[in-house]
Amino acid sequence: MSVVSSKLITAEQLLEMGDIGRCELIAGEIVHLSPASYDHGDIAMEIGALLRNFVRPRRLGKVLAAETGFRIRRNPDTVRAPDAAFVCSERIPKRGTKGFFDGEPDLAVEVLSPSDGKTDVANKVNDWLEAGAVSVWVVDPTAQTIAVHRSGAKTDRYGGKDMLDDEPTLPGFELSLEDLFSEG
């Protein structure tokens, strides 16, 4: 992760820059991110697909793809981009909305990369929770675990043959970690 701007910019200015590569805006500074690894992309897509398959028929909201920008802080602006996200139906903007989502997702999913440091991950989780996200999942493909963070609550950790359920964010949703991390 590398910071490339010395002058603070806004979320709108970042959007106007077009395709400058994978990045986030942290306190007004562009931070470039490396492309995701194969395992990272595979697991992020699998989680996104499982979430969408649960959310869509129940009309609970929208599941958004990796790199969707969420402006979670202003002056200076912070725009984070989770690996997958869920926003409940009451908060979905109209189609054709330009710009980043103004606010936080209800659920932010962060899949760890080998280069992610503990401090960087903790900062992401804190940013999401401070902005108002209900849940943040930190998925570790190497350890084959998921840590579910919620504001003011202890972290729930899942691994092995556990079934992740995320009340109150997605009542009734269950995710088999064994299936998620299987080779098939």
Residues 38-72 have pLDDT tens digits of 899 999 999 999 999 999 999 999 999 988 999 99
Alpha helices (H) along 25-94: 38-58
| Helices vs strands, H then E, count in the chain | 4, 14
The structural domain count of the chain equals 1
Q: Tell me if 120 is assigned to some domain.
A: yes
In angstroms, the Cα distances linking 25 to 51, 154, 163 are 26, 28, 34
What range does the domain containing 114 cover?
36-180
Q: Tell me if 131 is assigned to some domain.
A: yes
Is the peptide bond preceding residue 82 cis, with omega within 30 degrees of 0? no
Task: Name the pTM for this structure.
Answer: 0.92
Q: How far apart are CA 170 and CA 18, in angstroms?
A: 34
Q: What is the CATH number of the domain that holds 89?
A: 3.90.1570.10
For residue 70, the surrounding DSSP H or E stretch is strand 70-73
Q: How far apart are CA 39 and CA 58, in angstroms?
A: 29
Residues 135-166 have pLDDT tens digits of 999 999 999 999 999 998 999 999 999 999 98
Q: How far apart are CA 37 and CA 128, in angstroms?
A: 23
Q: Tell me if 21 is assigned to some domain.
A: no
Q: Tell me if 18 is assigned to some domain.
A: no
Q: How far apart are CA 11 and CA 71, in angstroms?
A: 7
